[in-house]
Chain A
Amino acid sequence: MSTVPEPLAAPAPNVRLFPLGDAAIVLEFGGGISAATHAAIAAFRARLVRLPCVGLREMVPAFTTLTVYYDPWLAGENGRYAPYDRVASQLRALLATTAVAEAATETAAVEIPVCYGGAFGPDLDFVARHTKLVPAEVIARHSAPDYLVHMIGFAPGFPYLGGLDAQLATPRKEQPRPLVPAGAVGIAGPQTGIYSLPTPGGWQLIGRTPLRLFNPAWAPPSRLQAGQHLRFVPISAAEFQRLQQHES
């Protein structure tokens, strides 16, 4: 880092550092899924963009972690340093001087239409049995909240959402499906999300949206961005077909 940052009033909460292989380091922010953790990660990420550590390749934010990919060759400077130790010490120094940001400003929720159950959501009945709710109540509870987009990951434009009704939490499938269609809306443990591409996946599928979430010709290519809010709006199968035709 080129300059020594000024100390700020409130340092980031406890952050644990550990390696993900020999070319990445994970910063784990405590506190579980929360808007506060999201804000702390966003604040640190913004700071690391301005004051990059040596060998920085890219950063991947998640619910409670920021994974920093680095080039061990550059970080080690021709064998003068142990690459991991060098990157870790620079990140710790930056953490010590990064303040926890205020929660992100509220914006209007993006509406995502979803056709629940049946062929669109083959695991709706499983989720209902697991949660001891009737399927209609699962749908009502799933489409009630404004969810926070914590991160985009797993596939292009795939949003990981915070705000799922705790009673809807359902474990992943023991064996992932070989192919989940684009637009499938699922639950995995305490998380809910939308598949953006046909891909293998282990989430419990409760519905499907006809909207595309990703297009390499869009700028940015992802419909949703981290920090936004979204709401699921239940639609009929007929409405699904109409919107799907409109999308293609």
Chain B
Amino acid sequence: MSLNILRPGLLTTVQDLGRHGYQKDGIIVSGAMDATALRVGNLLVGNAEEAAGLEITLLGPKICFEADHLIALTGANLSPTLNGQPVRLHRATWVVAGVELAFGAPVAGSRAYLAVAGGLATAPVLGSRSTYLRAGFGGLHGRALQVGDALPVGNPGTVGQQLGQQLAEGAAAGWAQARWAPGPELRPKSARHPIVRTIRGPEFATFSSRSQQAFWQQPFTVTTEADRMGFRLQGPLLERETTAELLSTAVAFGTVQVPAGGQAIVLLADHQTTGGYPRIAQVISADFSVLAQLAPGQAFRFVEVSLAEAQALYLAQEEQLRALRRGIALKVLT
């Protein structure tokens, strides 16, 4: 059982929820940029939330399924098709052997996820299948997918098997989709002017009051220097009231740091473990998906929330994921 890569797409990598516990050795977490989208996809096909899937960036790959599989596509809408016919996101989908998955123009968001029942079964490195591009390990040979790659798939669990059987009967045309989907709270919200909520960073108070105000009031744009490590932003000039150099210390997914040039950088899934630039703000966990789905050229605003609000929003999102998991468990019982 494998997925055969006919076209690799712009940047298609194997990702799970990351490589945890090795940041003290300088080894980054990696993992899906939009972890919520990957978790939803895994739940839809009956996988554990942390199973490995494909992260698909802007221009998608063309993939042929060598065997029958239960799959789900989540995250960005990159105009996916099965055998040339448009297919809906956020649905458990049965595909029979020989069906081809392709993508068209990006419509909303920049990162889509393909989850497969059983999960992608590449060899784990240090406890994770996530691809660490810069160090060249994890995923499939530590690199993005290429033409001719064959991705191994694991054996589906009981939930995945039952969900698949329910759909297989209607898949005469090659594929069939479930009629149910997760609620809107677990699907990406596309907004013309996205809002990214943040709390103050450890060095917020060292910026001039003018820069502090500008940070919340003026828009930022994602530049073309945008990858899995971080987005370099164009926005108001951010100046500190001190020239003192900082000692390197930990940085995280969502840390907004400001080099001496005064233009902010927001760190993402492949962020370095430590850094030495002042941290003006920190994006809240509940908005990592919004951040990860921004594309180069897109404008957005940072909005301030309190730490208590940020944690309440995170807990609410986790509760929604748990509710989805319970709902899917009920579907295979009936």
Contact = CB atoms under 8 A, between A and B. Distances in A.
Interface of A: 18-24, 26, 32-33, 57-65, 67, 69, 72-73, 76, 79, 82-84, 151-158, 160, 169, 171-172, 174-176, 188-191, 196-200, 202, 214, 216, 220-222, 226
Contact of A64 (B247, B277, B285): B247
Interface string B259-276: 111000000000011111
Interface in B61-116: none
20 contacts: A19-B199, A21-B199, A21-B255, A32-B247, A57-B20, A58-B24, A60-B24, A61-B24, A62-B247, A73-B315, A73-B318, A76-B311, A84-B307, A154-B275, A155-B134, A156-B26, A172-B259, A189-B246, A199-B134, A214-B135
Nearest to A65: B249
Contacts of B248: 62-63, 151, 153-154, 160, 188, 191
Interface in B209-231: 229
A91 to B, nearest CB: 15
Nearest to A190: B245
A95 B285 CA distance: 27
Contact of B274 (A22, A60, A73, A176): A60
Nearest to A222: B25
Nearest to A151: B274
Interface in B243-295: 245-252, 254-255, 259-261, 272-277, 279, 282-285
Nearest to A153: B274
A62 B249 contact: yes
Given A20-B282, A214-B135, A188 B259 contact: no
B126 interface: yes
Interface pairs A-B: 10 shortest CB-CB: A189-B245, A153-B274, A67-B250, A21-B282, A22-B310, A60-B250, A62-B249, A63-B247, A174-B260, A156-B26
Contact of A22 (B20, B21, B199): B199
A63 B249 contact: yes
Contact of A21 (B246, B260, B261, B285): B285
B137 interface: yes
A20 B26 contact: no
A174 B258 CA distance: 10
B202 interface: yes
B318 to A, nearest CB: 5
B259 A222 contact: no
Task: State which size class the interface on B falls in.
Answer: 35 or more
B308 interface: yes
Contacts of A76: 311, 315
Contact of B250 (A20, A169, A202): A20
Contacts of B251: 20
A188 B249 contact: no
B23 interface: yes
Contacts of B307: 19, 22, 84
B273 A60 contact: yes
B27 interface: yes
Given A19-B307, A21-B199, A62 B134 contact: no
B291 to A, nearest CB: 12
B18 to A, nearest CB: 10
Given A62-B274, A84-B307, A26 B245 contact: no
A72 B315 contact: yes
B239 to A, nearest CB: 13
A157 B26 contact: yes
B314 interface: yes
Given A59-B24, A67-B250, 10 more contacts: A58-B20, A76-B315, A153-B26, A158-B26, A160-B248, A175-B259, A176-B259, A188-B276, A216-B125, A222-B26
